[in-house]
Amino acid sequence: MKIVVMAPTYNERENIVELVQQLHENIPRALVLIVDDSSPDGTFQEVKKMMKKDKRLRLLFRDRSIKGRGWAGRDGFVKSLAMGADIVVEMDADLSHQPKYIPALVSPILQGKADVVIGSRYISGGKDMDRPLHRQLTSNLAKKYLKFVLGLKAADPTSGFRAFSKEALKKIDVHSLKARDPFTVSEILYRCYQAGLSVREVPIEFVDRTQGTSKLSLSTLLNYLGKALRLRLGLKYE
């Protein structure tokens, strides 16, 4: 079984070397695919430098004009399948998602016990970072909303640390994903449930990023909730 670990990056120069090192240590058999949208900080140049010596590392370089976490992930999944992946792991590149959990994420798929596995902060053994109370409340409300509107019944429907079998990605028609932004995480999970795939969760401890800058804002969150409604109602969104 061929495993590809796919991480979209935008300005992750300070994290990328450490990430790739940790991935090789924790899951030596996997290929690593970095999907970079021409990061101004030169993340892709760092990747290219490593690729000279690292045979397990690949780069999907995208033009900045088509930038977006969602489309980058979609293209990364398509590329992973073209690389012959049987299992694709998607994760953030800022070390919030720790490579040490990948063996546990892929294990249910290897054993034929699941099609999709979510690295979950909100099941027993999992942990989120210590957020201020208002952030915790927002996150909780968003979770309830997603469950209500889209039927995403997972304990952690917004986790972007997940493993998919090749068959699951084909079933959800991954190349036709629409969300350009982080809403992609919910769009994908919605399609998984709609397709009747078996979804499992394994606990992860989420670590706040220490390097680089955050791209999440209140307007992003509101936008996200609006898109969930549009998805459910079959209206257009991007």
- Tell whether residue 215 is a contact of ligand GTP (CB under 6 A): yes
Integer CA distances (angstroms), 9 to 149, 172, 230, in order: 29, 23, 27
Cα-only R_g, the chain: 17
- Tell whether residue 80 is a contact of ligand GTP (CB under 6 A): no
Residue with tokens 């300005």: 11
Binding to Mg ion by CB under 5 A, coded x per residue (else -) over 71-100, reads: ---------------------x-x-x----
Whether the Cβ atoms of residue 115 and residue 199 lie closer than 8 Å to each other: yes
Among 67, 143, 178, 230, binds ligand GTP (CB under 6 A): 67
Binding to ligand GTP by CB under 6 A, coded x per residue (else -) over 4-43, reads: ---xxxx-x----------------------xxx------
**Helix (H, G, I), strand (E, B), or coil: what is residue 38?**
coil
Phi, psi of 51 (to 5 degrees): -65, -20
**Helix (H, G, I), strand (E, B), or coil: what is residue 140?**
helix
- Tell whether residue 143 is a contact of ligand GTP (CB under 6 A): no
**Those residues with Cβ within 8 angstroms of residue 22's Cβ, 6 or more apart along the chain or in another chain:** 95, 98, 99, 100
- Tell whether residue 204 is a contact of ligand GTP (CB under 6 A): no
- Tell whether residue 156 is a contact of ligand GTP (CB under 6 A): no
Among the candidate windows 67-75, 78-86, 105-113, 195-203, which touches ligand GTP by CB under 6 A?
Answer: 67-75
CA distance 238 to 230: 10
Among the candidate windows 36-44, 70-78, 132-140, 209-217, which touches Mg ion by CB under 5 A?
Answer: 209-217
Tokens for 64, please give them: 């900045």
Question: Which neighbouring-strand residues pair with 4?
Answer: 31, 88
Among 57, 93, 169, 177, binds ligand GTP (CB under 6 A): 93
Phi, psi of 4 (to 5 degrees): -120, 125
67 binds, among ligand GTP, Mg ion, none (CB under 5 to 8 A by kind): ligand GTP
Minimal distance in Å, beta carbon 56 to ligand GTP?
19
Among 46, 90, 94, 156, binds ligand GTP (CB under 6 A): 94
- Tell whether residue 159 is a contact of Mg ion (CB under 5 A): no
Size of the site for ligand GTP (CB under 6 A): 20
| DSSP string covering 73-138 | HHHHHHHHHHTT-SEEEE--SSSSS-GGGHHHHHHHHHTTS-SEEEEESSSTT-B-----HHHHHH
Question: Interface with Mg ion by CB under 5 A: which residues?
Answer: 92, 94, 96, 209
Question: Interface with ligand GTP by CB under 6 A: which residues?
Answer: 7-10, 12, 35-37, 67-69, 72, 92-94, 96, 209, 214-216
